[in-house]
Amino acid sequence: MVEKIAYRVSASILLLTALAIVAMLVMGLTRADAGSSSAQPTAAVADKAEAEPVMQDIAVTEPVEAEPVEIAEKLPLSDKFVVKRILQIDEPFVHGYYKWDDEGVPEGELVVTVDLKAESISVFRAGYEIGAAVITFGDSEKPTPTGVFPITQKSKDHVSNIYGSPMPYMLRLTNDGVAIHASDVKWGWGTRGCIGVPMEFARRLFEQATLGDRVIVTNGKMLGVGDAIL
């Protein structure tokens, strides 16, 4: 009798143990399935985040044409617009430097010259150089064009509609975004075709320039007293 009771107890214990093991296995599988289903959306979100590119202003490369602007009527440049004065510059002519001196200079036609080779800009009024500065200019992707360009638009607090960058004291030269504007002028820096000048120089030029004034951009043409700007 005792042996039969002991056998029943052992059998019951074994049965309960087996049921407990089965229950634990079932619970483990259920948790594993739940864990897999909750992790799946997270992975999908991560994949989506990696797939979506981060847009930056500099990635925009297509030019946006400016709205047509009426410019003031200007008399043609005379056949011999003679240089009457070149500013005396004794300081090192380095990036970030500028000089401006219009004291005693008579009123007259304003002409701006830019020499890409010399990395410089000059402002002439009535033939007298009143301003000079070191510039930054176009890079290999978008070089600064050479030629004669009338100023077609002025905007003191302009922001580029192509790159989203500020262009203080902007003087527009072309409809595809080339302009003279204030910039952080440093050695080795370039632009996307624009002519960058020191902030204070840009402010002074902005105040003097009017729509239709000519900007002559060359690549290696130096001027001296008595030379003609054709």
For residues 138 and 146, is the Cβ–Cβ distance under 8 A?
no
CA-closest candidate to residue 70, choices 222, 172, 223, 176:
172
**Residue 153 phi, psi (nearest 5):** -160, 145
DSSP 8-state code for residue 66 = P
For residues 193 and 202, is the Cβ–Cβ distance under 8 A?
no
Beta bridge partners of 98: 133
Average pLDDT over the chain reads 73
Sign of the torsion formed by the C-alpha atoms of 62, 68, 70 and 74 = positive
Average pLDDT over residues 29-37: 40
pLDDT in tens, 38-84: 333 332 222 323 333 322 232 222 333 344 444 444 545 555 578 99
pLDDT for 8: 44
Q: How confident is the model at residue 223 (pLDDT cuts 50, 70, 90)?
A: confident
pLDDT in tens, 171-209: 999 988 899 999 888 887 777 789 999 999 999 999 999
pLDDT for 102: 96
Beta bridge partners of 229: 81
Average pLDDT over residues 88-110: 94
173 contact partners, CB below 8 Å, separation of at least 6: 149, 150, 151, 152, 179, 180, 215
CA-closest candidate to residue 185, choices 113, 110, 98, 76:
98
Lowest mean pLDDT among 33-47, 87-101, 158-172, 173-187: 33-47
DSSP E strands, the chain = 81-82, 98-100, 110-115, 120-125, 128-134, 147-150, 153-159, 166-172, 179-182, 195-197, 214-218, 228-229
pLDDT for 187: 83
pLDDT for 220: 86
The span from the CA of 198 to the CA of 132, in Å, is 10
200 contact partners, CB below 8 Å, separation of at least 6: 98, 100
Kindly report the CA angle at 226 between 222 and 116, in degrees rounded to 5?
A: 15
pLDDT in tens, 127-137: 999 999 999 99
Domain residue spans in the chain? 1-52, 66-229
Highest averaged pLDDT of the listed ranges 10-14, 58-62, 101-105: 101-105
What's the CATH fold of domain 66-229?
Answer: L,D-transpeptidase catalytic domain-like (2.40.440)
Overall pTM surpassing 0.85 (yes/no): no
The span from the CA of 42 to the CA of 48, in Å, is 10
Q: How confident is the model at residue 33 (pLDDT cuts 50, 70, 90)?
A: very low
